[in-house]
Amino acid sequence: MDSNAVTKKVAIPSRTQLLRELARAAEARGKGEQETPGRRADDRGGAALALWESQQRGRVRRRLGVYWTQLKAPTRLIAFTALAFVLGLQLAARPDGADMAALQRMVDDSRVALTARQGELELVRLEMTRLEEIMSYSRQYRIPADLAAAINDIALSEGIAPAVAFRLVQVESGFYQRAVSPVGAVGYAQLMPPTAFEMDPSLSYQDLFDRDTNLRLGFRYLHQMLNKYDGDLRLALLAYNRGPGTVDSVRRAGGDPGNGYARAIMDAVRPRD
């Protein structure tokens, strides 16, 4: 077996073997030996030592690289936070500087944006409440959602409680758009044409069957009756049904103008959760 084969076999010496080889090499140098085997042992020991150091150094470097990768992201975050903190301290130490003015503008802009967002959220909340009320009335009276929305919204715009408005339309027309009474009242709210034309002279008879027009004039007339009788809903409803002249005449005579109409509406109106 030649020396090259022996050298290839000693690829990764153990620590004990390495120490023995180093001891032999030192002993050979101390005695001044010049034989070739001694030199081979010295060379073999030096090569083994270099290989061992190279492997150990590479293993340590790899471990350090892993640790650095794991620590790199947190270290950046900590460094950024520390930098922001230092900048904050500098701004606080210079309350009259341009940086402080810029920071104040940012705070003001944020406050305005927050106020606007709160307003938007409030509008969304109100719209959700409106839709829930409309759906509830639609189920209660078994009418289409678009009709329920029209009664609800027009009643509110004319100053009438939606609960009263829905019950009034139910009693007057049964939610039938083309209803005409024996005395000539028409539509959802059973408007008398002379009363409607007095309120809006531009209307034609056919206009009184338009859903929104009929509801708006009917609820507006009820609101006028509420004003006339100082908010007394019973008298306002009786005047809506019998006419204010009849109600006033009966009252002047000391009688009760009640005919069951106001009770039919008011008894069915219950406070809503």
Residue 269: partners with Cβ closer than 8 Å, 6 or more residues away: 161, 163, 164, 167
d(CA 55, CA 24): 23
| Residue 172 annotated to the active site | yes
> Look-up: residue for tokens 């130490």?
93
Phi then psi for 192, rounded to 5 degrees? -80, 125
d(CA 46, CA 28): 14
The total of other beta-carbon atoms located within 10 Å of residue 133's CB is 17
At position 81, the amino acid (one-letter code) is T
Q: Yes or no: say if 233 and 172 are a contact pair by the CB < 8 Å rule.
A: no
Catalytic pick among 21, 133, 172, 198: 172
Task: Indicate which residues carry an active-site annotation.
Answer: 172
